[in-house]
Structure 1
């Protein structure tokens, strides 16, 4: 890779050139994922040299070759280079699955408050969050927001209510609190469904 005033542009140009056999939409998605990864890494580690960030991503020719190989054989998964997702990963799990698991975790616990309801509710929430994080249907910011609103916040609220006297007391306030939490889960799922990549 030649050195210039803009190593990021050179890096992305090399990936684009080497991945020119990919369909245009998949190639642009790969470039967008790489650019997003670079921006996020630089924001998280502002003292890191840009060369170090690019080196962690891996050789641009290898990234392009991996994306081409995955697109050619229909394999799903990540490129394994800096955690950047190759375009062929989409479609492995239907986007509705993690959204339903996250949303239905609370009603399951409400309908079955005794064993095994809470256990299955927590299991739904954890599996839904993992499926959301590993899905190719959303970008990193959307995944993070979804996990925070649909998995972390409800878990923290329920744990706080159960471990302290600060939770809603009585059937009426507890039901209202659960309905507000359910509205948050459903709203987050609806938003994620709307912004998903086709």
Structure 2
């Protein structure tokens, strides 16, 4: 379902008092320690301290109008297709696989070849992070070219690493063909604006560089 742009049912009723709204709304979570005068919590549903946080948090209030149960039975089933070997109309979904290792020292030729690669590397963004990162030179030296002879790569980059990501793709032998921009929204479906201007520009969105192996 779609979220109502007015947020809560109270605000929605003020804006359109005579029209029932079928969209989803939010309602405030008011606890003993909540101080509504402080406004909304910047982290909303991702707040780690909701038991003590004095700012306002929200939860989904559900649709204003109750839909008849028959309406749900009319929804046609959608056939889902998964990756894997097929036998006539049967599709086999294999369990997810991963390798726990240090990528800097892994011989990537043992992994085989892939038609599509999605990479979200641990770029060094000059911040203290709860996980290890890779230096710029270590990123450039990754054996990505051994994983693909012909196909696409989707490379997620951070604000500082956008140009570095483009350099890496060029070094790995790819031709950049497109760029996807993910504009992040919070629980209330609003653009994230936590922090100062630099935070808005660097953390309110992420870029995914789309590249392909050049045609022979």
> What TM-score results when the alignment is normalised by the length of structure 2?
0.22
> What TM-score results when the alignment is normalised by the length of structure 1?
0.23
Structure exhibiting the larger radius of gyration computed from Cα positions:
2
Greater share of helix: 1
